[in-house]
Amino acid sequence: MNTKKGSVSRMCKVLNCRNLKSASVKLYSLPKDGVRRDLWLERMNLNYINDTNLKNLYVCSDHFLTGKPSGEFHKKTC
Ligand SMILES: [Zn+2]
């Protein structure tokens, strides 16, 4: 496996959110689990994104009530 890091700047892909990773903002990649991943996409209105883009998709901690993906997802426009 050939994995390159650092070539793409990570940014939250939720609409109207441009958060970058920072001290107060964490970025999370999508769950590998299909059901949960679909739920994320649905809540984020990102259903239009195709599979090839999913691996570059990140969601910032602003969109989770607890600040972590294990918590309840909530829709927030920054
Ligand atoms: Zn965000």
Residues 27-68: tens digit of each pLDDT? 998 888 888 888 888 887 777 677 777 777 888 998 887 777
Q: How far is the CA of 7 from the centre of ligand 1 (A)?
A: 20
- Residue 38: inside a domain: yes
Higher pLDDT, 3 or 46: 46
- Residue 1: inside a domain: no
pLDDT for 60: 92
- Residue 40: inside a domain: yes
Higher pLDDT, 37 or 19: 19
Q: How far is the CA of 3 from the centre of ligand 1 (A)?
A: 25
For ligand 1, a single-atom ion, the residues with CB < 5 A are: 12, 14, 17, 19, 60, 62
Say if residues 30 and 42 touch (Cβ distance below 8 Å). Answer: no
Quick one: CA torsion of 35, 28, 17, 62, rounded to 10 degrees? Answer: 100
Domain that holds residue 35: 10-78
Q: How far is the CA of 71 from the centre of ligand 1 (A)?
A: 15
- Compute how many other C-beta atoms are within 10 angstroms of the C-beta atom of residue 69: 17
pTM, two decimals, is 0.67
Residue 77 pLDDT grade (very low, low, confident, very high; cuts 50, 70, 90) = low
Say if residues 68 and 32 touch (Cβ distance below 8 Å). Answer: no
Q: How far is the CA of 59 from the centre of ligand 1 (A)?
A: 6
- Residue 31: inside a domain: yes
